[in-house]
A and B are shown apart, each in its own frame.
Chain A
Amino acid sequence: MKKTYSVEVDCANCARKMEEAAGKVPGVAALSINFMTQRMSVEFAEDAQEKPVMQAVRKTCRKVEPDFVIEL
């Protein structure tokens, strides 16, 4: 399953760092943050639940950049 979310990221460098960190969250098969279109696209691993995974993703991203905003 693949989904796209609207995000608010301030700097390209933080987006890069978040992408790296959030890609390692369990349940995420692939993750990319498009700083230019302010979108995060997430490919979930098989039998992963969207909600808990995305909450973990948000938590991870906030660790990198406390101002991170995502519309879940």
Chain B
Amino acid sequence: MVTRRQKKTLTRILLTAVLLAALWFVPAEGWLKLCLYLVPYLLIGYDILRKAALGIVHGQVFDENFLMAIATVGAFVLAWIDGSGDYLEAVAVMLFYQIGEWFQSYAVGKSRRSITQLMDIRPDYANIETDGRLERVDPDEVAVGTVITVQPGEKVPIDGVVVEGASSLNTAALTGESVPREVAVGDTVISGCVNMTGLLKLETTRAFGESTVSKILDLVENASSRKSRSEDFISRFARVYTPAVCAAALALAVAPPLALTLLGRSARWPVWLYRALAFLVTSCPCALVISIPLSFFAGLGGASREGVLVKGSNFLEALSQVRQVVFDKTGTLTMGVFQVSGVHHSDLPQEKLMEYVALAESASSHPISKSIQRAYGLEPDRTRVTDVRELSGNGVIATVDGRQIAAGNEALMEKLGVPASPCHSVGTIIHVAVDGAYAGHIVVSDVVRPQARDALRQLKAAGVARTVMLTGDNDPAAQAVAADLGVDQVYSRLLPQDKVERVEALLSDQPKGQRLAFVGDGVNDAPVLSRADVGIAMGAMGSDAAIEAADVVLMDDDLMKLPKAIRLAKRCMAIVWQNIVFAIGVKVLCLLLVAVGAANMWLAIFADVGVMVLAVLNAMRCLKTPE
């Protein structure tokens, strides 16, 4: 797509080229020739001249418009003074500059659009059924609790619950996951997914502005406003660079002729003046200024396609320097779902013991109680349970079928004066006493995520030197999980505030230039997420708290995204540095060639456009995910 302004410039470029070709055959001299050449010059350069003049009025000197105006006007003056009448160069330089600008604006616009398209999850409308007809409305105007219709092929505009219909949803735009998700009546649906097969009616649970899709869009749109250090470097560079170049150009115009005069040789003022002008024209740092933000933007886009939302270029950069990864155990390395893994030392039949405990704990919503109820498998008959007493942090005492059942930790057994037999298994131990006599214990443990081991191995391959696990669990349980997964270091029995201290200690021991990432599920580790250099929240789809607290958000709970994100960040940074070195290198080379007179303005402008195009193409490689 070519914008209106681009079309206009293109017309001017073509007209100027035709005029120049025609003027080649016109035998004019002196004033007439100057006037004739001024026609194409003004045609192609009037906006540059105007901007340069406005720039001077507004105190914005030294921008590229100013440089171009000075250089081309200078070339005209020189050609008039030395009598050569070679005005072609001035016009041609302006023409090439415009061609370069046009191409730059086209290439950048195209890249920009292809990246934003990738992240285009913004729903344009919501369907509301009125009198049997579907009406399209602005999602912003849909009140919470409204029933909306989502047809196959449409985006879910607002978070909601399915009230009618069943379908498969494509969540790829949000999570990068290509396997569709099946939903039926009663399921929650997150906005930004695409409905694939069936008609769905949703009752909205949030306003559009609060919906997942809005939060993500907000995050993505603000991401590149957080500048990375490399981008800051460019800003600082530009601030020093432009005055330095102007000073060098001035020196080039004045110093050599003066030196030559002192040596008693011909000063050749026009030659040096020309070189100084060419030097100015060559100096524009376009390729650098354009390609760095574009690389980061493409990197952010590529990551979001994988379901990894990075909140800013600075975090992408930090991600590439991560050498230590600290994991929260529960809900991150493990699923946070407890399972009964054994019943030991029981005099009663195992089923009986499970039944008693499940009934005693039937009123509790604690994850461990839930796991026991799941293992029991039947709907507990609450009429058999009386006198339930929950002892916070210890367990529960209740009467089941007339027998007193106590289930809880060692402290509870001590309190009741029941000698508990210790357990060597890994996990949380629930001791059980029946009518004041010890009746064995139940071992409940967390389930390790299937991809955790692989993910940790790949992290090492991606350059992470150390992995650390933090947990509130007891030491044997923590050590066992760590050994199983291959975690380097474990800190167990930590309270939430201890986790922050632990991470701070790790941060203070860290060598300069290295970064520490903390990975959590965002549930109650917000302080740690914000304290780490890079806070990574996973399984964040639908969890606002996690999206807000973290710097990097993994939309689903696939741990493999972690090494992938680090590889992507590293690759993006490599491309950024390639572009910086390449752009500055070629620029310095061109400046030197121009200064010694080995290259003229035309060549310099060609080189500039060439470098810019290559740098933009290179930047687009950031979009691709490394395997």
Q: How far is the CA of A12 from the CA of B221 in the complex (A)?
A: 16
Question: B235 at the A/B interface (Cβ < 8 Å)?
Answer: yes
Of the listed stretches B22-30, B72-80, B256-264, B290-298, chain A binds: B290-298
A36:B116 contact, CB within 8 angstroms: yes
Asked if B238 and A13 sit within 8 Å, CB to CB, the answer is yes
Which of A13, A36, A64 interacts with B58 by CB under 8 Å? Answer: A64
Q: Are A36 and B224 in contact (CB under 8 A)?
A: yes
- Residue pair B290, A4 in contact (C-beta under 8 Å): no
Contact of A12 among B5, B58, B225, B293 (CB under 8 A): B293
Residues of A within 8 A of B63 (CB): 17
CB <8 Å contact, B235 and A41: no
CA distance A8 to B289 in the complex (A): 18
Is the Cβ of A63 less than 8 Å from the Cβ of B289? Answer: no
Among A11, A35, A41, the residue within 8 A (CB) of B222 is: A41
Contact of A36 among B50, B60, B112, B285 (CB under 8 A): B112
B225 adjacent to A32 (CB under 8 Å): yes
Cβ of B105 within 8 Å of any chain A Cβ, yes or no, is yes
Whether A12 lies near B116 (C-beta < 8 A) is no
In the complex, per-residue mask of A32-49: 1 if CB is within 8 Å of any chain B CB, else 0: 101111110100000000
Contacts of A36 in B (CB 8 A): 112, 115-116, 224, 293-294, 297
The residues in B between 293 and 323 inclusive whose CB is less than 8 angstroms from any CB of A are 293-294, 297
B119 to chain A, nearest CB (A): 9
A-contact bits for B404-417, CB 8 A (1 contact / 0 none): 00000000000000
CB of A35 to closest CB in B, whole Å: 6
- The reply to whether A11 and B290 contact each other, CB–CB distance below 8 Å, is yes
CB pair A12 B290 closer than 8 Å: yes
B217–chain A nearest beta-carbon distance, Å: 10
Whether B225 contacts A41 by the Cβ 8 Å rule is yes
Contact yes or no, A35 B293, CB < 8 A: yes
Q: Which residue of the partner chain, among A4, A12, A34, contacts B289 with CB atoms under 8 Å?
A: A12
Number of interface residues of A (CB under 8 A): 20
A63 with B60, Cβ < 8 A, contacts A10-B105, A11-B290, A12-B289 known: yes
Known: A12-B289, A32-B225, A41-B222. A63 touches B54 (CB 8 A): yes
The CA of A37 and the CA of B221, in the complex, are separated in Å by: 7
B286 at the interface (CB under 8 A from A): yes
Q: Does any Cβ of B come within 8 Å of A16's Cβ?
A: yes
Chain B 192-236 interface 0/1 with A at a Cβ cutoff of 8 Å (1 = within):
000000000000000000000000000001101100000000010
A43 CB to closest chain B CB, in angstroms? 11
**Highest count of chain B CB atoms <10 Å: which of A4, A11, A41:** A11
Check: A66 CB closer than 8 A to any chain B CB: yes
Partner among B225, B286, B294 whose Cβ is within 8 Å of the Cβ of A13: B286
A1 to B: closest C-beta gap in Å: 14
Question: Would B289 and A39 count as touching, CB distance under 8 A?
Answer: no
Shortest Cβ gap from A38 to chain B (Å): 8
The CB with the most chain B CB atoms within 10 A, among A32, A36, A63, A67, is that of A36
Query: Do the beta carbons of B221 and A4 come within 8 Å of each other?
Result: yes
Q: Which of A38, A41, A64, A66 contacts B50 (CB under 8 A)?
A: A66
Q: Report A48-72 residues with CB < 8 Å from chain B CB.
A: 63-67
B571 interface residue (CB < 8 Å to A)? no
Q: Separation in Å of the A58 CB from the closest CB of chain B? A: 14
Q: Is the CB of A37 within 8 A of B116?
A: yes
User: Which residues in A have their C-beta under 8 angstroms from that of B225?
Assistant: 32, 34, 41
Q: A37 to nearest B CB, angstroms?
A: 5
Knowing A32-B225, A34-B221, A34-B224 are in contact, say whether A66-B54 is a contact too (CB < 8 A).
yes
* B531 CB within 8 Å of chain A: no
A6-20, CB < 8 A from B: 10-13, 16-17
Complex Cα spacing A66 to B52, Å: 10
Q: Tell me the bound Cα distance from A39 to B64 in angstroms.
A: 24
Q: Which of B64, B290, B293 has the most CB of A within 10 A?
A: B293
Q: Give CA–CA (A30, B54) in the complex, Å.
A: 26
Chain B residues with CB below 8 A from A39, complex form? 221
Residues on A with beta carbons closer than 8 Å to the beta carbon of B5 = 10, 67
CA A17 to CA B63, docked complex, whole Å: 10
Given A64-B60, A66-B51, also A13-B289 (CB < 8 A):
yes
> What residues of chain B lie closer than 8 Å to A13, measured between beta carbons?
64, 238, 285-286, 289-290
Tell me the bound Cα distance from A10 to B286 in angstroms.
Answer: 12
Min C-beta distance of A57 to chain B, whole Å: 15
Q: How many angstroms between the C-alpha atoms of A41 and B224 in the bound complex?
A: 12
Nearest-Cβ distance from residue B110 to partner chain A, whole angstroms: 12
Closest A residue to B112 by beta carbon equals A36
Q: What is the 8 Å Cβ interface bit string for chain B, positions 86-113, against chain A (1 contact, 0 not)?
A: 0000000000000000001100100010
A37 to B289, CA, bound (A): 17
The 3 closest A-B pairs by CB, nearest first: A32-B225, A63-B58, A36-B297
Known: A34-B222, A36-B115, A66-B50. 14 other contacts (CB 8 A): A10-B5, A11-B286, A11-B290, A12-B293, A13-B285, A16-B235, A17-B60, A17-B63, A36-B116, A36-B224, A36-B293, A41-B221, A41-B222, A64-B58
Task: Name B residues whose Cβ lies closer than 8 Å to a Cβ of A.
Answer: 5, 50-51, 54, 58, 60, 63-64, 104-105, 108, 112, 115-116, 221-222, 224-225, 235, 238, 285-286, 289-290, 293-294, 297
Give me 19 A-to-B residue pairs in the complex whose CB atoms sit less than 8 angstroms apart, sorted by A's number. A4-B221, A10-B5, A11-B286, A12-B290, A12-B294, A13-B64, A16-B238, A32-B225, A34-B221, A34-B224, A36-B115, A36-B116, A36-B224, A36-B297, A37-B221, A41-B222, A63-B54, A63-B58, A63-B60
